[in-house]
Amino acid sequence: VIPCNASGTNTISLTPLDSSPLIEGYVDHEVYVFAAAATSTGDVTMNVVTRSGALSTVKAYKTGGSAQASTGDVVSGSLYLAVYNDALDGGNGGFVLK
């Protein structure tokens, strides 16, 4: 589990804490934990900002990956686990929010 600071409303950027392992890309089943900075007001996407720059922006999903997270699905101050899944979005990958 990789602890992160989060920023953004509908595009959530996750910045791993300094104590986190070196991240070079998305890995299937990798888990990021964060407290939401804002409540979502539309479709939610996410990216991870590594020490060498931001990774690609991918969709965030709710209900186990069956629907994209949207308005009100992410609530400011709430704690979330974001689990990366390569198979989502037609193989483009995405995060399942828990």
How do residues 37-95 score in pLDDT, each as one tens digit?
999 999 999 999 998 999 999 999 999 999 999 999 999 999 999 999 999 999 999 99
Measure the CA–CA gap between 4 and 47, rounded to whole angstroms.
Answer: 11
Q: Cα–chain-centroid distance for residue 34?
A: 9
Position 9 scores a pLDDT of 98
SS3 15: strand
Which residue carries 């070196």 as its tokens?
22
What pLDDT sits at residue 58? 98
Q: What is the pTM of this model?
A: 0.95
Q: Is the pLDDT of residue 30 over 90?
A: yes
